[in-house]
Amino acid sequence: MRFEEYKSLKNHNTFGIDCEARYFVSVETVEELKKVLSENPSEALFLLGGGSNMLLTDNLDALVIHLNLKGIEITKTTEKEVFVKVMAGETWHEFVEYCIKNDFGGIENLSLIPGNVGTAPIQNIGAYGVELKDTFESCHTLKIETLEEREFNKEECQFGYRNSIFKNELKGKYIITSVSFKLTKKDHKKNISYGDIQKILNDKNIKHPSVKDISEAIIAIRQSKLPDPKVLGNSGSFFKNPIVNSERFQEFRKEFPEAPFYEITPTEFKIPAGWLIEKAGFKGKRFGDAGVHKNQALVLVNYGNATGQEIWQLAMDIQKQVKEMTGIFIVPEVNVF
Ligand code: EPU
């Protein structure tokens, strides 16, 4: 293990923000992680996965622990299913590619989501009709205070829309060291009803899509709408899609009958934040090096040298303007430090 000082985190966050870590160490095994945890007070630590869901607005006066635990292992197979244990530091999309190569079904709709496997359960990543929780079996964790190991099953994780127990009462208390998935080996349950997936498959004349075909369709959709963080710094959706009650929704509908929405329950309605931000006039706008993506207003981008404060200022301006124009309050999905 090599400890570094004043280390730039520019290559460790997908927004590409140039903030420094006072101390930095990359851990490759659970033993290394335990050693670092046991030798440092927990309040001085900052845990870093793929850096894909965070905005740094200042240098971190902490010991940043980069969770770089690697490994993918099949733990059990049945006639139709396969259980795969993946270490936290594996790149999410590389794990998706592993599944596609082996024709394991279940996460193909989650192709190309940035970030690491270990952070995926924290916000229950989701896209194109599928969420992580649909294939999640369990995760293995380390309690930061006591170094006790604990397994969490699906129920214990309390998954919700971009949410889990690790974002709420257990926030900052446990480190996810590996995640186990239950995937299909055959008779895959395909989710192709969302958006343009079916259209792309039709255009290619694919009647019985394989998991690979679906993954390729998702990749095409994402590449047409979402910026590649390697080219243009970003953190995916900056805001969550707001969920409002019927009363609020009826008022909103009266004023904006053209707005898209999803009925979640008869009393809960989800409104796309991207639509609200576009309505408020921010889509494609650029303020210095901070901007709003031209194809998807939900994504804030760094054109090169934006500071975290500049991105944050833009986010707050958007939040205020959306509230004033539409009466709806949108909240960030990314973690801001
Ligand atoms: N829309 C606009 N203008 C925009 C963007 C969207 O009017 O600039 C409208 C679209 O026309 C559509 C609706 O909003 O009617 C929904 O748009 P889209 O299908 O692109 O999805 P989203 O709700 O904006 C969510 C996730 C994405 C995920 C997509 C696809 C959240 C916060 N975001 O976006 O997740 O890829 O659905 O499933 O739930 C991420 O979390 O980083 C992410 C990219």
Q: What is the pLDDT of residues 10-55, one digit of tens each?
A: 999 999 999 999 999 999 999 999 999 999 988 889 999 999 999 9
**Burial grade of 269 (CB within 10 A; 0-12, 13-18, 19 or more):** buried
Distances (CA, A) of 102 to 74, 114, 126, 183, 265: 11, 21, 22, 11, 37
The one catalytic residue among 20, 97, 162, 278? 162
Please name the residue whose Cα sits nearest to atom 9 of ligand 1: 275
Helix (H) or strand (E) holding 39: helix 30-39
Cα(271)–Cα(328) distance, integer angstroms:
9
Q: How confident is the model at residue 195 (pLDDT cuts 50, 70, 90)?
A: confident
E-only strand ranges, the chain: 4-8, 20-27, 45-48, 54-55, 60-67, 72-77, 81-87, 126-127, 130-131, 136-143, 149-153, 174-184, 233-237, 243-245, 262-265, 268-270, 286-287, 290-292, 299-302, 335-336
Residues near ligand 1 (Cβ within 6 A) = 127-128, 195, 225-226, 236-237, 240-241, 260, 272, 274-275, 278, 283, 296-298, 333
**In testing the pocket of ligand 1, which one of 134, 298, 328 has its CB within 8 Å of the most ligand atoms?**
298
Catalytic residue among 90, 216, 310, 333: 333
CA of 130 to the centre of ligand 1 (A): 13
> Which 8-state DSSP code applies to residue 160?
B
Looking at every residue in the chain, the average pLDDT score rounds to 97
Token reading at 184: 């299909």
Q: What is the pLDDT of residues 205-217, one digit of tens each?
A: 999 999 999 999 9
- From the CA of 273, give the closest atom in ligand 1: 24
Tell me, yes or no, if 333 is annotated catalytic: yes
- At 42 the pLDDT is 87
Contact 46, 64 (CB under 8 A): yes
Separation CA 14–CA 335 (nearest Å) = 13
Per-residue pLDDT at 194 exceeds 90:
no
**What is the Cα–Cα distance from 182 to 143, expressed in whole angstroms?**
24
Cα–ligand 1 centroid distance for 62 (angstroms): 34
Residue nearest to atom 29 of ligand 1 (CA): 127
Q: CA 120, 125, 334: angle at the middle one, nearest 5? A: 85
Q: Are 217 and 201 in contact (CB under 8 A)?
A: yes
pTM for this one?
0.94
Taking residues 332-337, what's their average pLDDT?
96
Residue type, 260: P
**Spatial CA neighbour of 132 closest among 151, 112, 117, 114:** 117
Mean pLDDT of 284-303: 98
Q: Which residue type sits at 83?
A: F
136-155 confidence digits (pLDDT tens)? 999 999 999 999 999 999 99
User: Counting atoms of ligand 1 from 1, which one is nearest the CA of 125?
Assistant: 41
Q: Two tokens at 24?
A: 């930095």
What is the set of domains in the chain, with CATH numbers? Answer: 4-67 (3.30.43.10), 72-225 (3.30.465.10), 233-336 (3.90.78.10)
Tell me the pLDDT tens digit for each residue of 70-122: 999 999 999 999 999 999 999 999 999 999 999 999 999 999 999 999 999 99
CB 89 within 8 A of CB 69: yes
Contact 241, 297 (CB under 8 A): no
State pLDDT tens for residues 160-170.
999 999 999 99
